[in-house]
Structure 1
Amino acid sequence: MNSKKIIEQIAHACDDKQAKDIAALDMQEVSLVADYFLICHGNNERQVQAIARAIKETMEEMDMTIKRMEGFEQARWILVDLDDVVCHVFHKDERLYYNLERLWGDAERINLPIESAGNDHEL
Structure 2
Amino acid sequence: MQNNSKELALQIARILDAKKAIDVVVLDISHLTIIADYFVIASGNTEIQVRALCDELLKSLRQQGVDVRRQEGYRHGRWVVLDYGDVIVHLFHREDRAFYNLERLWADSLSLSVHGQN
TM over 0.5: yes
Whole-angstrom distance in 2 between the partners of 1:78 and 1:66? 12
Segments of 5+ residues of structure 1 without an aligned counterpart are 115-123
Root-mean-square deviation (CA), in Å?
1.2
Contact 1:14 1:55 survives alignment (8 Å): yes
Q: Using structure 2 for the length normalisation, give the TM-score.
A: 0.92
1:4-83 to 2 correspondences below 5 Å? 4-83=6-85
Task: Give the number of aligned pairs.
Answer: 114
Alpha-carbon displacement from aligned partner over 1:16-58 (angstroms, at most 9, x marks no partner): 2210000000010011110000001000011000111111112
Letter in 2 for 1:68: R
- Measured after TM superposition, the shift of residue 7 of structure 1 is 1.2
- Measured after TM superposition, the shift of residue 87 of structure 1 is 0.3
Whole-angstrom distance in 2 between the partners of 1:15 and 1:49? 15
Classify the secondary structure of the residue corresponding to 2:50.
helix
Whole-angstrom distance in 2 between the partners of 1:76 and 1:45? 6
Deviates most, 105-114 or 90-99: 105-114
Alignment pair present for 1:104 and 2:98? no
Whole-angstrom distance in 2 between the partners of 1:27 and 1:58? 24
- Measured after TM superposition, the shift of residue 67 of structure 1 is 0.2
Letter in 2 for 1:18: K
Whole-angstrom distance in 1 between the partners of 2:71 and 2:107? 25
Partner of 1:85: 87
Whole-angstrom distance in 2 between the partners of 1:100 and 1:44? 19
Whole-angstrom distance in 2 between the partners of 1:9 and 1:57? 13
Runs of 4+ displaced beyond 4 Å: none
Identity of aligned residues (%): 38
Q: Using structure 1 for the length normalisation, give the TM-score.
A: 0.88
Letter in 2 for 1:48: V
